[in-house]
Amino acid sequence: MKKLKNEKEMVKKAIAEGMAYGEKRGVVEFEPTDSADEKVQYIYRLLVHDKVIQPIPEIDISIKSMRHKLAIWASKMKR
């Protein structure tokens, strides 16, 4: 897994866009007390369920790999 140049910023963008996506669909309401890792897990699973992104093989799944996958997704979004 090759780290993106600006991965940290892309993860932040992915969380913001993923939260908006989930709330727009009406399937989730994020709380201020939710941790970033909880948000990453939920957004990743929602995007995989909706077939927006390809799932990571179950043996390789981790918070780090989910963050990376969301960062890639955010980097491909139009600004």
What confidence tens digit (pLDDT) does each residue in 32-70 have?
A: 899 999 999 999 999 999 999 999 999 999 999 999 999
Half-sphere exposure of 46 (CA within 13 A, CB side): 22
Domain of residue 36: give its range. Answer: 14-75
How many helices (H) and strands (E) the chain has is answered by 3, 0
- The model carries a pTM of 0.91
Looking at residue 79, its pLDDT comes to 61
For residue 35, tell me if it sits in a domain.
yes
Q: What is the mean pLDDT of residues 2-11?
A: 86
Task: Give just the sign of the alpha carbon dihedral 72, 3, 56, 8.
Answer: negative
The CATH number for 33's domain is: 1.20.120.1930
The pLDDT > 70 percentage for the chain reads 97
Q: What is the mean pLDDT of residues 13-27?
A: 93
**Domain count across the chain:** 1
Looking at residue 69, its pLDDT comes to 95
Output DSSP code: residue 59: G
